[in-house]
Amino acid sequence: MFDPVQENPYPDTHTLGEGPEPHPLLTPVLGLVGRWHGRGQGQYPTLERDFRYEQEVVFSHDGRPFLRYEARAWLVDETGAPIRPAGREAGWWRVTPDAGLEVVLAHATGIVETYVGTVSGTEIEIGTKDVALTPLAKEVTGTRRRYSIDGDLLTVVHDMAAVGQPLQHHLTTRLRRRSS
């Protein structure tokens, strides 16, 4: 009989060495698994001024050949004090047998992106294949993200084509791995 209070028998883990063994196809991206936190800066030609933010990113797995991804950010002032919530997204990273990537991300603002990409050592690059928008979503026509892992430092550079602008730099974030 089903017990609705029973603990999930297949929990995600964001700590390597705990929980299920990672699927062998995840080997090229295992460096991403974990909780990350850091600060970033953003700009775009349609914005009045540049902005600063903090971000938390979690990559986890449940033993199958994909990573679960969640990210949330909040704007901060020049002293680092929080101003308000900012971007939030969630999705899945699937590694292909040739170490390619297929990524699906959904944003709270009504944008869904599919990406394809590659992994080369500690460098990962993904670019949009398709972008779908809800009726009230901001027009985004393409994005590209580059991830670089250096030990416990994850740098993410995000380029965007949106609201009539060509693909260009939008965000740079430097995140540190958190112990839990």
Tens of pLDDT, residues 88-143: 999 999 999 988 999 999 999 999 999 999 999 999 999 999 999 999 999 999 99
Q: What percent of the chain has pLDDT over 70?
A: 96
Cα separation, 13 vs 156, in Å, equals 22
pLDDT for res 13: 78
pLDDT for res 42: 98
Cα separation, 124 vs 129, in Å, equals 16
Q: Is the pLDDT of residue 30 over 70?
A: yes
- Whole-Å CA distances, 133 to 64, 72, 108, 136, 169: 29, 20, 11, 8, 21
Q: Check the CA dihedral 86-142-26-122 and report its sign.
A: negative
* pTM, two decimal places: 0.92
**Mean pLDDT value across residues 6-28:** 83
Convert the pLDDT of each residue in 61-76 to its tens digit: 999 999 999 999 999 9
pLDDT band per the 50, 70, 90 thresholds, residue 9 = confident
**Mean pLDDT value across residues 41-69:** 96
Backbone angles phi, psi at 90, to 5 degrees: -145, 155
Tell me the residue type at 44: Y
More confident site: 7 or 146: 146
